[in-house]
Amino acid sequence: MYKVLISVFTATLLMCSLKAQLSVSAELDSTNILIGDQVRLHLLINHLPDVKIQRIDLSGLQSVEEIEVLDIQRLDTINSKDEFLLEQWFTLTSFDSGAHWVPPIPVEYVYKGQNGKAETNQLPLIVRPFPIESDTSQLAPIKPIIEEPLKFEDFMWYLIGILLVGGLIGFLIYQSRRKNEEEEEEIIEIKRPAHEIAIDKLGRLKAAKLWQQGKIKDFHSELTYILREYLENRYEVQALESTTYEIKQALGKLDIPEDYRMQIQQLLQTADMVKFAKAEPPVEMHADALSKTESFIDSTKRSTEEFEAMLQTIEEQRMAEAKAKLEEEEIQLASLSNRLIAAVIDGIFSIAIFLVLFFSSLALGGLSEVVSNIILIASLVVWFILHLGIEVWFGGLPGKLLLGMKVKTEDFQQITFKQAYHRFIYKIRSLFVIFSVIGALRREDRMLRHDEITQTRVFKV
């Protein structure tokens, strides 16, 4: 009996000694929460340097049905000479109203070869339901929308879409302008009288003072180029690509005074000697050559009436060739009935595009009203330019293309963006389209008002 009492006493002293080496505590930052709210649990472990923590047992905490562990942060250690302090944070929540208990958290450790275990205190947690007002006949006020901060990802795809559409529009404009410039280059050049072009270039040649600076070859090369270009534009002689001898033969068939023919031949021969034989004519010959060229151009220039008559003849020839081409390829004007069907399809297409853009702007709920409106307006502008680009580049919107029709100029050339813009504007202005259709029925060519104003036609291809 005496030995048993001694053993019990010794064991009690040992347990008290182990507990003195480590202490554990826990506390909640709030013991009273609303249902669904979150609360933080703070675990503190204080022990001597010789104590080694084996395990923090969270199985009891995680097994409580009424309490859910949302987050477990890592264990932080604060070292000192005399003792260690460990702390750990837990985030808890509960969706069951009532009084609950956060169970003790056991901490297992080893001290001087002896295993020990300490537990935190049990903590109460009261979970309250949402308060319900006694007077339920009154509606609660509408709470404002919680707006989260904008991020680049919120409108990144819209920017990418606008950039892609803008790039497509830019490409269409570039291709259209390049093609139009190539097709109309000769027509634009001939709309100026030949003598005006030559006189302008002679003025620039004078201002350059090439032969005064010793650039004799450059001076005669430029002078004869101006002269050859004038002969080609004025008399339709292939002078730019012909030799001096060939030009001489061609001038003999034209109504040009003999003295001017001789002067032209002399100017061209002198220039050939300077360019190919490196001849150096007297200084006075440079000014004389320039003066003779000016005199020839001034004496042989067309009058305004002759030039306008020439332009009229060229235009008539061009239209006749275009008409012959249309007849040869059996290209006819589209019927009004097909055009009306195409207009309905194009209208549906336009409305669908508008609705897509409109609801896309509404989808940006996180944006302010001003920004959403700006995006909507920008989208409509992009769509408008794309609308014109489709009609210019492809010859019409889906309705016309599906029915085998294309919008072209009167001579079956690609229309310009300016013509497409005016077609769009005049169609919008014609609110009462029925009057335009009635007017077209009285015409043999069945042209609508915007066709006539923009000098365009809708062909069946």
Query: Is the per-residue pLDDT at 3 higher than 50?
Result: no
Q: What is the mean pLDDT of residues 277-298?
A: 82
Question: Looking at the chain, how many residues does it have?
Answer: 461
More confident residue, 292 or 327: 292
Is 334 in the same domain as 449? yes
Is residue 6 very low, low, confident or very high in pLDDT (cuts 50, 70, 90)? very low
**pLDDT for 263:** 83
Is 220 in the same domain as 291? yes
Highest average pLDDT, of 68-72, 135-139, 274-278, 293-297, comes from: 68-72
- Read off the amino acid at residue 135: D
Query: Is the per-residue pLDDT at 173 higher than 50?
Result: yes
| pLDDT digit string, tens, across residues 307-336 | 666 667 777 777 666 666 655 555 677 777
Is 293 in the same domain as 371? no
The values of phi and psi at residue 77, to 5°, are -120, 135
Rounded alpha-carbon distances, angstroms, from residue 140 to 35, 108, 146:
20, 53, 17
Domain boundary among 83, 109, 128: 128
Spatial contact of 263 and 296, defined as CB atoms under 8 Å apart: yes
Domain count across the chain:
3
| pLDDT digit string, tens, across residues 130-170 | 776 655 556 667 777 777 776 666 666 666 766 676 666 56
d(CA 424, CA 451): 11
| pLDDT digit string, tens, across residues 95-138 | 888 899 999 999 988 888 888 888 898 899 999 987 766 555 56
Is 333 in the same domain as 395? yes
Rounded to the nearest 10 degrees, the angle between the axes of helix 194-208 and helix 216-235 is 170
**pLDDT for 13:** 39
Q: For the chain, how big is the Rg over CA atoms in Å?
A: 47
Is 437 in the same domain as 336? yes
Q: What is the CATH number of the domain that holds 116?
A: 2.60.40.10
Is 199 in the same domain as 257? yes
Spatial contact of 122 and 104, defined as CB atoms under 8 Å apart: yes
Residue 34 located in a structural domain: yes
Residue 23 located in a structural domain: yes
More confident residue, 8 or 130: 130
Is 292 in the same domain as 336? no
Percentage of residues in the chain with pLDDT exceeding 70? 68
Residue 314 located in a structural domain: no
Is 262 in the same domain as 333? no
Is 81 in the same domain as 26? yes
Residue 313 located in a structural domain: no
Domain boundary among 73, 102, 128: 128
Indicate whether this model's pTM tops 0.75: no
Spatial contact of 122 and 41, defined as CB atoms under 8 Å apart: no
Structural domain containing residue 223: 194-302
Spatial contact of 454 and 432, defined as CB atoms under 8 Å apart: no
Is 290 in the same domain as 362? no
**pLDDT for 106:** 92
Is 287 in the same domain as 225? yes
Residue 178 located in a structural domain: no
**pLDDT for 84:** 82
d(CA 408, CA 416): 9
More confident residue, 171 or 334: 334
Residues with Cβ within 8 Å of 259's Cβ and at least 6 positions away in sequence, in order, are none
Spatial contact of 398 and 349, defined as CB atoms under 8 Å apart: yes
DSSP state of 93: E
pLDDT, mean over the chain: 75
Residue 312 located in a structural domain: no
Lowest mean pLDDT among 84-88, 174-178, 401-405: 174-178
| pLDDT digit string, tens, across residues 328-359 | 555 677 777 787 888 888 778 777 776 776 66
Domain boundary among 128, 148, 164: 128
Is residue 452 very low, low, confident or very high in pLDDT (cuts 50, 70, 90)? confident
Is 224 in the same domain as 292? yes
| pLDDT digit string, tens, across residues 221-277 | 888 898 888 888 888 788 888 888 888 888 778 778 888 888 888 888 888 888 887
Residue 213 located in a structural domain: yes
Residue 3 located in a structural domain: no
Residues with Cβ within 8 Å of 407's Cβ and at least 6 positions away in sequence, in order, are 391, 395, 396, 400, 415, 420, 423, 456, 457, 458, 459
H or E element, residue 373: helix 369-394
**pLDDT for 5:** 41
